[in-house]
Amino acid sequence: MKVLHVSPLLFGPDGVVGGGERYPLELARAMAPLTETRLIAFGRPAERRVAALPVRVYKPLRYLGTKGLSPVAPSLVAEIARADVVHCHQMHTFLADQCVLIGRLLGKPVFLTDHAGGDRNLNRRLRTWQRATGLLLVSHFNARDFPSLARKVTVIHGGVDPERFVRRPDEAGRRRRLALYAGRLVPYKGIQYLIEGVRPETEVHLAGAAYHEDYVARLRALAAGRSVRFLGPVLGEALRQEYVSASALVLPSVEEDLYGKRYPKSEILGLVLLEAMACETPVVCSAIGGMPELVVDGVTGVLTPPGDAGALGAAVEGLLDDPAAVRRMGRAGREHILASFTWGRVAERCLAAYRGLTLETR
Q: What is the CATH number of the domain that holds 19?
A: 3.40.50.2000
Instruction: Check whether residue 317 and residue 355 sit in a common domain.
Output: no
- CA distances to 17, 87, 151, 152, 357 from 361, in Å: 36, 16, 11, 10, 6
Rounded to whole angstroms, the Cα distance separating 142 from 113 reads 10
Average pLDDT score over the chain: 95
Q: What count of other Cβ atoms lies within 10 Å of the Cβ of residue 168?
A: 10
Instruction: Check whether residue 352 and residue 307 sit in a common domain.
Output: no
Instruction: Check whether residue 192 and residue 307 sit in a common domain.
Output: yes
Instruction: Check whether residue 63 and residue 73 sit in a common domain.
Output: yes
pTM for the whole thing? 0.94
13 or 305: whose pLDDT is higher? 305
What is the per-residue pLDDT for 172? 79
Instruction: Check whether residue 104 and residue 224 sit in a common domain.
Output: no
pLDDT at 331 over 90: yes
pLDDT at 65 over 90: yes
Q: Which domain holds residue 323?
A: 169-340
pLDDT at 15 over 70: no
CB 121 within 8 A of CB 93: yes
Number of domains forming the structure of the chain = 2
pLDDT at 360 over 80: no
What is the per-residue pLDDT for 19? 81
Give a yes or no: residue 31 inside a domain: yes
pLDDT at 179 over 80: yes
Instruction: Check whether residue 244 and residue 308 sit in a common domain.
Output: yes
Instruction: Check whether residue 211 and residue 240 sit in a common domain.
Output: yes
Instruction: Check whether residue 180 and residue 323 sit in a common domain.
Output: yes
**Which of the four pLDDT bands, split at 50, 70 and 90, describes residue 277?**
very high
Give a yes or no: residue 164 inside a domain: no
Instruction: Check whether residue 289 and residue 312 sit in a common domain.
Output: yes
What is the per-residue pLDDT for 11? 85
pLDDT at 20 over 90: no
Rounded to whole angstroms, the Cα distance separating 179 from 128 reads 43
Give a yes or no: residue 60 inside a domain: yes
CB 229 within 8 A of CB 182: no
For the segment 71-76, the average pLDDT, to the nearest whole number, is 95
Q: Where are the alpha helices (DSSP H) in the chain?
A: 19-31, 75-81, 94-106, 123-126, 128-131, 140-143, 191-197, 213-223, 236-245, 271-278, 309-320, 323-340, 343-361
Q: How far apart are the first and last CA of the chain?
A: 17
Instruction: Check whether residue 33 and residue 131 sit in a common domain.
Output: yes
Instruction: Check whether residue 181 and residue 326 sit in a common domain.
Output: yes
What is the per-residue pLDDT for 361? 56
pLDDT at 362 over 60: no
Which DSSP category does 200 fall into? T
Helix (H) and strand (E) counts in the chain:
13, 16
Give a yes or no: residue 247 inside a domain: yes
For the segment 113-127, the average pLDDT, to the nearest whole number, is 96
**Which of the four pLDDT bands, split at 50, 70 and 90, describes residue 158?**
very high
- CA distances to 130, 214, 230, 314, 325 from 96, in Å: 12, 33, 36, 43, 45
Rounded to whole angstroms, the Cα distance separating 295 from 307 reads 18
Instruction: Check whether residue 182 and residue 327 sit in a common domain.
Output: yes
Per-residue pLDDT of 33-64, as tens digits, reads: 999 999 999 999 999 999 999 999 999 999 99
Rounded to whole angstroms, the Cα distance separating 290 from 313 reads 22
